Amino acid sequence: MINVLLACNAGVSTAMMEKKIAEEAKRRNIELIVNAASVSRIESFVKDNDIIVLGPQVRFASKKIEKEYPDIPVYVIEMADFGMMRADNVLDNILRVLSK
């Protein structure tokens, strides 16, 4: 089971992405849960997640988050992938980062 924390600016668009990633994972038979949270409240949700995925609108937070949670890998979704809602690319990247 993979737990993904998807963090953005409390936006609605992230909810779209959250759903798409979950669908893509289901299609590929991967057991994965996406937990969405606002980046300003990440500390309340971070526990038990395997990876932190950031939307491109909060990419500037990545350095700080990497420093605060050194044990959890952080991955920032590319702008084009987010804009076009390409959940397949995002899932590929999540799996790639986790396999490292």
Task: Among 26, 47, 66, 79, indicate the residue that binds another protein (CB under 8 A).
Answer: 79
Quick check: 43 binds another protein (CB under 8 A)?
yes
Nearer to another protein, 40 or 98 (CB): 40
Q: Identify which of 64, 72, 77 has the alpha carbon closest to the alpha carbon of residue 7.
A: 77
H helix or E strand, kind and range, residue 51: strand 51-54
In angstroms, rounded to a whole number, what is the distance separating the alpha carbons of residues 91 and 98?
11
Quick check: 80 binds another protein (CB under 8 A)?
yes
- Catalytically annotated residue among 6, 7, 8, 77: 8
Nearer to another protein, 30 or 40 (CB): 40
Quick check: 12 binds another protein (CB under 8 A)?
yes
Known catalytic residue: 8? yes
What residues contact residue 64 under an 8 Å CB cut-off, 6+ apart? none
What residues contact residue 78 under an 8 Å CB cut-off, 6+ apart? 56, 89
The minimum distance between CB 29 and another protein, in angstroms, equals 26
